[in-house]
A and B are shown apart, each in its own frame.
Chain A
Amino acid sequence: MGGYLHRGRPVSETAIRHDFSAEPVSNVTGYRAFTAGSFRFSRDEYFATIEWPKGRHQMPVDAFLRALMRDIAWGFFYGTVNFDAVFGTTNLYGQVDMFAGRYNDSYRAAGLDWQERFEASELMPLFKEMISDWTNDGYDPFAAPQETDAPWGRKNGGNDAAVTRQRVTARRMVGLPGDTQPRTDESGYPVNRMFADVPQDAPLVEAEPGFEDQVCAYNLFAYLSRSDVTWNPSVCSVLEDSLYCPTTEEFILPIEHGNDRVEWFMQLSDEITWDVKDKETGKPRAKVTMRAGDIAAMPADIRHQGYSSKRSMLLVWENASNAIPEMIQRGEAPVTPVQF
């Protein structure tokens, strides 16, 4: 069986759905509606509406677009991307489960939850088409709310330049010859308004002849101060499967991330408070306040959402090993990284 048991019976979503559609442009709002399997997505001037055979759910369209943007940019990411307490996706690494109420205790108890499975390569184009159609001129779902226009209203142009940004991924380390280079004014990355006081000095690098491609350093904090996106990790150094994915954070992480593996955070500047909930039920478990220099693990059985009042620098540390999904399926992946 391709799926799992739901209260002792096979869930209806075990078959992979291949049916997608885009409806004609609405004469009222100017937006199109989309369907993926039994799920239907529509937007109006304020809300995104998601319908499935057992229910209907609305989200403010700004929150929906910010979450959708991360799901796209991260390739469905690790584990579960909860757009909110009801709707989201779970990455099966090649396939994707789309759900409503699956990780919500009340929906589960009422039997209103729903889940369907798709090929990731088939669902992603629909998501990209949706965010392109639903994003108006001037609105940037990657930006902090103070740095973008509002998404409200009827269809008004688009902003494909913002919603098609590519995630920056260094192959070895930022700054090495042939690798991702430090950000500069000239390359289109001015210092963010909230990081105007971050020193932009460069490290001293003295390489002997023949070692120029190995003797290398750069200013990571300056690099981050010039990030034009929020809550969007970019890979800056790579040690096999160990990925340093620092990011800058302002306002709210647009999703509740239910990782399927342990994830580590090191707060590099300022402060983030994390709301931590049970991954399955959504019940609150803890609030974790992290300040500069703090390092902590997010267990594999929780979902977390961060709040950053001032733009801050966060190092997200991931283990990208291809062996982990199989370990997860076998129940061998640890929930916490260390016992003490």
Chain B
Amino acid sequence: MRAAQHASAARHSAVAAGDEETPLAGGGYTTVFGALNDYRKGHIEIIDDDPKNYVFSNVFEIAETCAPYERVVAGKNFDYVIEAGRAERDSPWFTNAHDEFVLCMDGEIEVRLIKPEAPLLAPDARGAHLAGAAPAGAKMGRLVLRRGHQGLLPKGCAYQFSAARPSVFTIQTVLGPVSVEKWADICIGGGQ
């Protein structure tokens, strides 16, 4: 379900998914996670500020609107970034010269890992890079991640994601050649 767009000021849009208060189930509690087709974006009530200062977006909304495996920068702290995107079928092969960490936010994502015969990048290369076709090298193994699972994309590896159905990922990494910055498109105050 498409979440409502929220304006920069105190304009509270009605939304459908999880619109009610946190429900009690059998006397217990229901933990609300987001999903590609079921999320409810928050909002900013401005008192004396610019909503752009908060660089506020939603990773499910990003995943819903980006191309498969487009690695959209959702958080940036100097050259460190959090990328968000949608996994759907096979991704290109990526490689790195430093650790990265992938977190599955929704669905199921397989991660295939190869140790290239020779390094594909200079040791000081930053961010994720495309690795072309499946690099020659030793199979390191694979991960199958579901919601909430975090996996290591180890330094110097090549990796490919695969998802049988659209799924959502975030990656703790460094700004690199495959990072896509489109803040005005994703953030509150950026023209939404």
A positions within 8 Å CB-CB of B = 172-174, 176, 193-199, 201-208, 210-211, 214-222, 225, 236-242, 244, 262, 264, 266-271, 276, 283-299, 309-311, 317-319, 321, 335-338, 340
Contacts and interface: CB of A to CB of B under 8 A. Distances in A.
Given A173-B150, A214-B154, A296 B29 contact: no
Nearest to B168: A293
A270 B31 contact: yes
B147 A288 contact: no
A193 B29 contact: yes
B140 interface: yes
Interface in B19-76: 22, 25, 28-34, 39-49, 51-61, 74-76
Q: Which 4 A-B residue pairings sit nearest by Cβ, starting from the closest?
A: A221-B148, A217-B151, A293-B34, A340-B183
B184 interface: yes
B2 to A, nearest CB: 13
Given A208-B139, A287-B44, A319-B78, A197 B54 contact: no
B55 A319 contact: no
Contacts of B148: 198-199, 219-222, 268
Contacts of A205: 141, 143
B138 A208 contact: yes
- Find the residue from B30, B31, B141, B151 having the highest chain A CB count within 10 A: B31
Nearest to A288: B44
Contacts of B187: 340
Interface in B83-120: 84, 98-101, 103, 105, 111, 113, 115
- Find the residue from A197, A202, A238, A311 having the highest chain B CB count within 10 A: A197
Interface of B: 18, 22, 25, 28-34, 39-49, 51-61, 74-78, 80, 82, 84, 98-101, 103, 105, 111, 113, 115, 138-152, 154, 157, 170, 172-174, 183-184, 187, 190
A204 B144 CA distance: 5
B151 A214 contact: no
A172 B99 contact: yes
B139 A217 contact: no
A236 B28 CA distance: 28
Contacts of A240: 80, 98
Contacts of A241: 80
Contacts of A215: 113, 140-143, 152, 154
Given A197-B25, A296-B56, A291 B140 contact: no
A74 B42 CA distance: 28
A337 B184 CA distance: 14
15 contacts: A173-B150, A176-B152, A216-B152, A218-B149, A218-B150, A239-B173, A240-B98, A266-B74, A284-B48, A286-B44, A286-B45, A293-B61, A296-B54, A299-B54, A340-B52
Given A240-B80, A276-B49, 18 more contacts: A194-B29, A195-B29, A197-B29, A203-B143, A203-B146, A204-B144, A206-B141, A214-B154, A217-B151, A264-B77, A271-B32, A286-B49, A290-B42, A294-B58, A295-B74, A295-B75, A309-B22, A338-B76
B101 A211 contact: no
A103 B109 CA distance: 47
A196 B29 contact: yes
A336 to B, nearest CB: 5
Contacts of B147: 199, 221
B44 to A, nearest CB: 5
A193 B5 CA distance: 33
Given A220-B150, A242-B77, A299 B141 contact: no
B34 A338 contact: no
B33 A292 contact: yes
A316 to B, nearest CB: 11
